[in-house]
């Protein structure tokens, strides 16, 4: 049997509102409009008796040891719910930057669950798949079916796919990993404390770029300011993107350090990406269509 293959696309938080910190479990309560890029990792699964993982690609080094990799953790979580699951050898081609605010590890984990579901003949909507995703990480459930949608709570509540028109964009990472925990600590919320709890603007399904920008523009990423205190270079990236012709909005994704820019059209995005690569050769710069 040939290996099963799937992509693990980058997850972009077009908005990220922090409503507060929950009293029960201490998790931060979020509302976020999420979209996905064509840029991403690639995961394959060759059926076999043992669960194994190999990693290659330009960002394979920081991907973490076997036992800590989210691909393996997701697979083990599903095995715990479905004993006797057919397994095999995973191979991950790692292209996305690590600790970058674009859900690379979470998307890899979701890809592993999709491949195991396909190998074993059940749907990715199976309740055990969703339970394994939630047990693996807060961003894994939204990555199971990577299409634009709202994500709320601590990531456990996933809205319906919005089928937005593709948004021309650039993704830029300055090569500085930013761990999530220090950014949330810098936000400084105590357990039970509320933070800017106003309702997120509604997003209509099937919206075009102008309609999406009308919603996304006045919204925000509440982690951007604390992330700037952890990694000031994010401010340099934001300024560089905002200076590009045709850039309609520049904002940080997730907890950083990746920043996205939304552009008027694909040509403007491609020109800006080329200019940024020339001026900042050490940065990771990708043109993208977010959807």
CATH classification of 167-290, choosing from 3.40.30.10, 3.30.360.10, 1.10.357.10, 3.30.70.890?
3.30.70.890
Q: How far apart are CA 237 and CA 239, in angstroms?
A: 5
What is the reported pLDDT for 68? 75
What is the reported pLDDT for 67? 62
Spatial neighbors of 158 by CB under 8 A, at least 6 apart, are: 141, 142, 149, 150, 151
Among residues 164, 169, 137, the alpha carbon closest in space to that of 150 is found at 164
Among residues 54, 77, 233, the alpha carbon closest in space to that of 144 is found at 77
Query: What does the pLDDT look like over 149-190, one tens digit per residue?
Result: 999 999 999 999 999 999 999 999 999 999 999 999 999 999
Mean pLDDT of 68-75: 93
CATH class of 4-158: alpha beta
Q: Does pLDDT of 65 surpass 70?
A: no
What is the reported pLDDT for 207? 86
pLDDT band at 8; cut points 50, 70, 90 = very high
Q: How far apart are the first and last CA of the chain?
A: 32
3-state secondary structure of 215: helix
- Domain spans, the chain: 4-158, 167-290
Mean pLDDT of 52-65: 82
Q: Does pLDDT of 64 surpass 60?
A: no
- Catalytic (active-site) positions: 11, 139
Burial of residue 82 (CB within 10 Å: 0-12, 13-18, 19+) is middle
Mean pLDDT of 111-116: 98
Query: What does the pLDDT look like over 241-284, one tens digit per residue?
Result: 999 999 999 999 999 999 999 998 999 999 999 999 999 999 99
Mean pLDDT of 11-17: 98
Same fold, 4-158 and 167-290: no
Residue in this structure with the two tokens 């079916």, named with its chain if needed = 145
Share of the chain above pLDDT 70, in %: 98
Among residues 56, 96, 51, the alpha carbon closest in space to that of 77 is found at 51
């Amino acid at each position: 049997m040939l290996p099963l293959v799937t992509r693990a696309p980058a997850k972009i938080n077009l908005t990220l509102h922090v409503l507060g910190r929950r009293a029960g479990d201490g998790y931060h309560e979020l509302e976020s409009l999420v979209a996905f890029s064509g840029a991403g990792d690639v995961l394959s699964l060759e059926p076999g008796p043992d669960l194994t993982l190999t990693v290659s690609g330009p960002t394979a080094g920081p991907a973490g040891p076997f036992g800590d990799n989210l691909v393996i953790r997701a697979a083990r979580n599903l095995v715990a719910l479905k004993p006797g699951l057919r397994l095999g050898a995973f191979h991950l081609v790692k292209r996305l930057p690590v600790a970058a605010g674009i859900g690379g590890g979470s998307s890899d984990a979701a890809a592993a669950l999709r491949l195991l579901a396909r190998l074993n003949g059940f749907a990715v909507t199976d309740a055990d798949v969703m339970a394994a995703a939630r047990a693996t990480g807060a961003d894994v459930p939204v990555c199971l079916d990577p299409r634009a949608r709202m994500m709320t709570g601590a990531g456990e509540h996933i809205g319906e796919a919005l089928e937005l028109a593709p948004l021309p964009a650039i993704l830029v990472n300055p090569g500085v990993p930013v761990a999530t925990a220090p950014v949330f600590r810098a936000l400084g919320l105590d357990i039970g404390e509320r933070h800017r709890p106003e309702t997120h603007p509604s997003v209509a399904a099937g919206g075009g770029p102008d309609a999406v920008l009308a919603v996304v523009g006045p919204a925000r990423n509440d982690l951007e300011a604390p992330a700037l205190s952890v990694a000031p270079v994010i401010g340099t990236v934001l300024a560089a993107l905002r200076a590009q012709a045709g850039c309609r909005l520049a904002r940080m994704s997730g907890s950083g350090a990746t920043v996205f820019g939304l552009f008027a059209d694909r040509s403007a995005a491609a020109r800006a990406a080329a200019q940024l690569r020339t001026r900042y050769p050490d940065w990771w710069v990708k043109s993208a269509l977010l959807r």
